[in-house]
A and B are shown apart, each in its own frame.
Chain A
Amino acid sequence: MTPRTPVNKGRRIVQQLVLVFFLVVLWVMLWDSLTVLSVVTGIILAFLVTRVFYLPPVVLSGRFNILHAAVFAGWFLYSMVIASVEVAWFSFRPKAVGAGSVIAADLRTRSDLMMTLVADTASLIPGSIIVDSDRARGRLYLHVLDADTDEKILAAKKQVYDIEGLLIKALGSTRDLAALKVDPDPLAASAERGGTR
């Protein structure tokens, strides 16, 4: 294995600086004033906060594709509108909502950040709630709202995989990209294997 200490140390400092930068931006936005005083106090407080409430640094992949991120943002907003209107329609229509299901989605990525982002997004978009997750196997368990037929279950799984694909293309590391290339369509693969996994 390559010596990890120098790479890790440099990487950690960069990540701490990124965190401090975002905290300073948040502080300045809360105070609604971009003066020297607010920036300086922001930097001091950000350092204090990151020292006192020490969190393990989130491992960024160091890759950010603007185009795919913009596509993801646009698609996210559009889908959020559709999903909210759909849930509102379910609450108002006279017919009761169908039974839900808890489905499992085997993600192709193994990194924590990607799994968290997929889980966050899947909570907001296609009408699903993350019930549990199996981090070792990269598996998310979601509860989907109106899923009383197999087609709807497959559609929900497809949507989760779509989210994951878009996120990997926007933010994923090279390993995730390779995993995406190996397995671009998990539903078709599992259908070949037989059964509705």
Chain B
Amino acid sequence: MNGLVITVIIAVATILFAASVFVALYRVIRGPSILDRMIGTDVILASIMCGLGAFMAVTGRTDLLPVLIVLAMLGFVGSVSVSRYVSKSDSMTPGAEAGALSDFSASDWHMPKSETAATDDAQSAREAAWAEDVARGISNVPDGPVEITVRDEVVVPDPGPAEATTASATPDDERGEGAGSGPDAGPDDGLAGPTDEVGRHRHDDGKGGHDGP
């Protein structure tokens, strides 16, 4: 009797696992954007992990545990790399980041573009992204959106994520504190940021030229 109950429970669980894989597969196929497909794949992967764990518990073998670790790592690396591809902001220099959004054509998303002109969209996306970075204090673009040339400039291909992260890591490392990063030199027109911002401000004044006294 006990065995029968357990068997029925396990059978229902198996059906539910299979159903969750198929439902997530629908999202992978249907998803209007690449990110939707990515999280659909992530759900499929996690369902496979859970199903494999259930299989291990039912059949009594533990040699498949490293497979779970590998699947978890694959899911994580896949998600992160797809999202870094989509928002190229992490791999490009901050000044060129605003151009990345407008590089995306509608075919990447399969969603109807409701805005009429592609240039309007590109312009607003550019300014919004640039303004975000200014607000977050990481943009090194000294002036307004005028500085950002999207179509004309040659976009430097990604030198490698390691370089980008170490470049941003070193100034933080120098600040190296024990008791909290502490407030920096105060927000200054929304350009508060780490110390390398000061260098950029100086560069900005030299380059901008005709400021007041």
Contacts and interface: CB of A to CB of B under 8 A. Distances in A.
A136 B184 contact: yes
Question: Which one of A55, A59, A174 has the highest number of Cβ atoms from chain B below 10 Å of its Cβ?
Answer: A59
A135 B136 contact: yes
A56 interface: yes
Given A59-B178, A110-B181, A136 B169 contact: no
A30 B65 CA distance: 10
A85 B177 CA distance: 40
Given A56-B172, A56-B173, A110 B136 contact: no
A137 interface: yes
A190 B54 CA distance: 49
Nearest to B66: A30
A136 B137 CA distance: 7
Taking chain B's interface residues, is the majority helix, strand, or loop, or is none over half, making it mixed? loop
Contacts of A135: 136-137, 181
B170 A56 contact: yes
Contacts of B182: 110, 175
A13 B197 CA distance: 29
Contacts of A8: 176
A61 B136 contact: no
Interface in B171-199: 172-173, 176-184, 187, 192-194
B34 interface: no
Interface of B: 66, 69, 132, 135-137, 169-170, 172-173, 176-184, 187, 192-194
7 contacts: A55-B169, A56-B170, A109-B180, A111-B177, A132-B136, A134-B136, A175-B182
Given A56-B173, A173-B179, A173-B180, 19 more contacts: A4-B176, A30-B69, A55-B169, A56-B169, A56-B170, A56-B172, A57-B173, A61-B179, A110-B180, A111-B180, A111-B181, A134-B135, A134-B136, A135-B137, A136-B184, A137-B187, A173-B178, A174-B179, A176-B180
